[in-house]
Amino acid sequence: MRIHLYVTAFIIVGALLLNLRTREILVLLFMINFVLVAEMFNSAIEATVDLVSPNYHPLAKFAKDISAGAVLVTTIMAVTVGALIAVGDDAWDRIRLALTAEQPATPVMWRILLGCLLLFIIVVIGKGLGKRGTVLKGGLVSGHAAYGFFIAGTVMFISDSPLVTALALLLAAIIAQSRWEAKIHSISELVLGATVGMVLSLIAFGLMPK
């Protein structure tokens, strides 16, 4: 909840710096409140499940996973709405042109797809080299941190807005921090994953020919 409140304060300051209209700020506040309420319901469900079933039970795990998934869905929606507001009213036109134009947007999309594929291969190999964890959980390289920082690095290279870049890096850091709090990855595994993601974004967008 503390992290959510920090992010809320950061978003509000960013909205003021972008000189957003009152209606847009109200939409952002609504989405932020939506995420906070979902997080509160998630915490209440987890506490209730622990009270009713203190020992492990598949149904208790299922209930917790569903409540956590609800928070994830609301967070993704909130981030999407915030990103569209930050881009501007013509966001859909820009996206449509980027997806249909032959130059120069198509190479960017291919770089993202190729980067995600290469990152998946690297993460799987890295997990295989480790002595603990599996391909889907844990392991030497954090896949969540790798993809989070790859996307953040991609945003950094293709965006002209320092604020958008800062938000992308902040979200990637939150993803990595959540994996550490859940005790799924160590600091070194998260740093390694973040490094792999940033290096791959550097190669795809900073070093490859335009």
Alpha helices in the chain (DSSP H): 2-17, 22-52, 58-87, 91-100, 105-129, 143-158, 162-181, 187-202
Would you give per-residue pLDDT tens digits along the chain (210 residues)? 777 777 788 888 878 877 788 888 888 888 888 888 988 998 899 999 998 888 888 888 888 888 887 887 787 778 777 777 776 666 555 555 554 555 444 477 778 888 888 888 888 777 766 556 555 566 678 888 889 999 988 888 887 778 888 888 888 888 888 888 777 878 878 888 888 888 888 887 766 555
Q: Give the count of alpha carbons within 13 A of 195, CB side only.
A: 9
Structure tokens at 67: 């409540």
Report yes or no: 186 and 176 within 8 Å, Cβ to Cβ.
no
- Return residue ranges of the chain for CATH 1.10.287.3610: 1-89
Q: Coil, helix or strand for 137?
A: coil
Instruction: Provide the CA 16 distance to its chain's centre, in angstroms.
Output: 23
Sign of the C-alpha dihedral computed for residues 149, 38, 84 and 109 taken in this order: positive
Q: Tens digit of pLDDT for each residue in 152-188?
A: 888 888 877 788 888 888 888 888 888 887 778 788 7
Overall CATH class of domain 1-89: mainly alpha
DSSP 8-state assignment for residue 101: -
CB 111 within 8 A of CB 208: yes
- Whether the ω angle into residue 107 lies within 30 degrees of 0, i.e. cis, is no
Residue written as token pair 């690095």: 153
Distance CA 80, CA 78 (A): 5
Q: Does the CA dihedral 68-69-70-74 come out positive or negative?
A: positive
